[in-house]
Amino acid sequence: MLDAVLFDLDGTLTDPAVGITGSFRHALAAVGHPVDPSEDLRWVIGPDLRDSLDRVGVAAAQHDAVINSYRAHLREIGLFQATLHSGMAEVLARLRADEVPLALASAKMISMGETTLEHFDLRHHFDVIAGTLADGAARSKAQIVADALDGLGNPEPVRVAMVGDRMHDIEGARANGCIAIAVSWGFAEAGELERHPPDHLVDTPGELATLLRALG
C-alpha cells in the first residue's frame, strides 16, 4: 500500500463548474468587465485566479477587486453549487479502511476546502487540508503539495500519490517527487495531459481505487 494519498478537489473529487464559473462571471461584471454568457469558462477551474484574469484581459490594477468579489460570491453561493463525482466517496472510504493517510491539496483557500468537504460529509476522511492560506496570496501547487506532505509528517514522496485533473497537479506532484495520477473526468483542456503526461491516467473512480491499492 501507499504511505499516503493527496487529492485535488475541484474536478477530481467534485464538479464545481456552476459555482466557480458563476462566481467568476459575477466578479468580472462587478468591475465592468462582463464575459459573454455563451463563453465556456470551465478552463478557469484549477489555475491560479490571477493567471485566469490575465487570460481574459483584466488589468492588474483590478485583480484584487475581482478576486475579493469572486471569493465572497463563491463562499456564500458557489461552493454549495458543486456536485460530488459519483464513486469518489467510496474511493476515500476504501483508502481509509486500508488505513492510508489522506490529505487535500487544493488551490482553494483552506477554509473553502474545509467547507466543501464538510458539505459532502467527507471531512472525516482527511488528516490534512492544504491550500491557499488565509492571506489569499497566490501559491503554486508545488507549495501546496509540500504543505500537505509536511502535515502528514513528511512520508517518503515516492510512496505518495497525488491525484488531480490538471497539469498543475502533475507539476505539483513532480516537484515534490510524488507519483502523479490524473483523472480523465476533470477540466484539463484539449491536449493538456498529453503535453504534461502523468505517471498514470485513470478513467473511472473504480479504476483509480484499484490503481491506488496496487501502488506502493
Contact 152, 175 (CB under 8 A): no
**Which one from 8, 15, 165, 169 is the annotated catalytic residue?**
8
CA 215 to chain CA mean position, Å = 22
- Cell 483584466 belongs to 58
b/e code 57-77 from CB counts within 10 Å (16+ = b): ebeeebbeebbebbbebbeee
Quick one: CA dihedral 67, 47, 28, 72, positive or negative? negative
Give yes or no: 8 in active site: yes
Phi-psi region of 150 (alpha: psi -120 to 50; beta: other; left: phi over 0): alpha
Q: What angle do CA 147, 191, 142 make, to 5 degrees?
A: 10
Residue 115: all three cell numbers together: 467547507
Q: Which residues does the annotation mark as catalytic?
A: 8
